[in-house]
Amino acid sequence: VYLKAIEAHGFKSFADKVNIKFDAGVTAVVGPNGSGKSNITDAIRWVLGEQSARSIRGVKMEDVIFNGTSGRKPMNFAFVRLVLDNRSKTLQLDAEEVHITRKLYRNGDSEYYINNEKSRLKEINELFLDSGLGRNAYNIISQGEVDEVLKAKPDQRRGLIEEAAGVMKYKLRKKESEKRLEDTAANLSRVHDIIHELE
Ligand code: ATP
């Protein structure tokens, strides 16, 4: 799977609708300070379901909506769409091209779409869980994070490597199973109590 294009409209500095196309292989984005290079990676994080405004350099989520310039009125929504080449069928969808879209209005209404079908964030998370993409995967390394890896303690570094190696999803499933086991043990103990009362 690879990223073919990012469409953005009303997201941060992208007041006009932009369609940034990528070829397979390495792409470098260059531009002066403050011209919006990092806003591109913020857009990727956001559309993949980023819930923390701080992670995309804002204070509240509304900050992702274009808030106007001296000559231009603020917009009332932000839109980002990722176009992914899925000919490899890495994403478990029967489609050669997958579109992931997120839209946020100033009144707080928020929508996600997978291939133009309204979806929940949970479905987007699940789609990317096994793919090495997704907002929790280490596919975006921001300024400062390289330093963090170098300064990390051994167990923290191990966590990063485990995540990169795809161990995370098994850890998550293990945790879910443990929770179910605990619930079952609690139920069993309750049943024992009832039996005891009846005897
Ligand atoms: P640097 O090279 O300094 O890291 P950059 O090219 O990565 O810069 P960004 O940090 O992506 O630049 O872009 C910041 C710009 O985006 C600023 O000019 C800021 O005013 C603008 N910006 C951020 N949020 C909004 C918004 N909601 N509305 C309008 N402009 C915004």
163-197 pLDDT, tens digit each: 777 787 788 889 999 999 999 999 999 999 999 99
Q: How far is the CA of 57 from the centre of ligand 1 (A)?
A: 9
Q: Say if residue 25's pLDDT is above 70.
A: yes
18, 7 Cβ separation under 8 angstroms: yes
Q: Tell whether ligand 1 has an atom less than 6 A from the beta carbon of residue 37.
A: yes
Q: What is the pLDDT of residue 136?
A: 64
The amino acid at residue 94 is D
Please determine, for residue 154, whether its predicted confidence score (pLDDT) is greater than 90: yes
Return the pLDDT at 130: 66
**Side-by-side strand order, sheet with 77-85:** 18-21, 2-9, 77-85, 97-105, 110-114, 117-119
Q: What is the pLDDT of residue 192?
A: 97
**45 found inside a domain:** yes
Closest CA to 74 of 83, 65, 87: 65
Residue 67 CA: which ligand 1 atom is closest? Answer: 28
* Over residues 46-58, mean pLDDT: 91
Q: CA torsion sign, 177 to 180 to 181 to 182? A: positive
Can you give the pLDDT at residue 135? 65
Q: How confident is the model at residue 108 (pLDDT cuts 50, 70, 90)?
A: very high
Q: Which residues pair with 119 in a beta bridge?
A: 112
User: What is the rounded average pLDDT for all residues in the chain?
Assistant: 91
Give residues with Cβ within 8 angstroms of 67, minimum separation 6. Answer: 74
Cβ of 33 less than 6 Å from ligand 1: yes
Residue 176 falls inside a structural domain: no
Q: Is the CB of 76 under 6 A from ligand 1?
A: no
Residue 168 placed within a domain: no
Residue at 143 is within a domain: no
Structure tokens at 43: 């857009």
Residue 187 forms part of a structural domain: no
Which of 9, 38, 54, 142 should be mutated for ligand 1, with most atoms under 8 A from CB? 38
Residue 145 has pLDDT above 90, yes or no: no
User: How close is the Cα of 108 to the center of ligand 1, in Å?
Assistant: 22
Instruction: State the CATH number of the domain containing residue 67.
Output: 3.40.50.300
The reported pLDDT for the residue numbered 131 is: 75
In this model, does residue 90 exceed pLDDT 90?
A: no
Q: Is 142 annotated as a binding residue?
A: no
Is residue 125 assigned to a domain? yes
Q: Does 154 belong to an annotated binding site?
A: no
Tell whether ipTM is more than 0.90. Answer: yes
Task: Say if 15 falls within a structural domain.
Answer: yes
Q: Is 35 annotated as a binding residue?
A: yes
Q: What is the mean pLDDT of residues 125-140?
A: 74
134 pLDDT tier (thresholds 50, 70, 90): low
User: Ligand 1 centroid to 39 CA: how many Å?
Assistant: 6
- Return the structure tokens found at 16: 């006009």
Integer angstrom CA distances of residue 118 from 26, 65, 103, 113: 32, 21, 11, 4
Number of domains in the chain: 1
Q: Which two tokens stand for residue 96?
A: 């050669």
- For residue 159, being part of any structural domain is answered with no
Query: For residue 1, what are the domain limits?
Result: 1-134
- Higher pLDDT: 76 or 133? It is 76
Average pLDDT over residues 23-27: 89
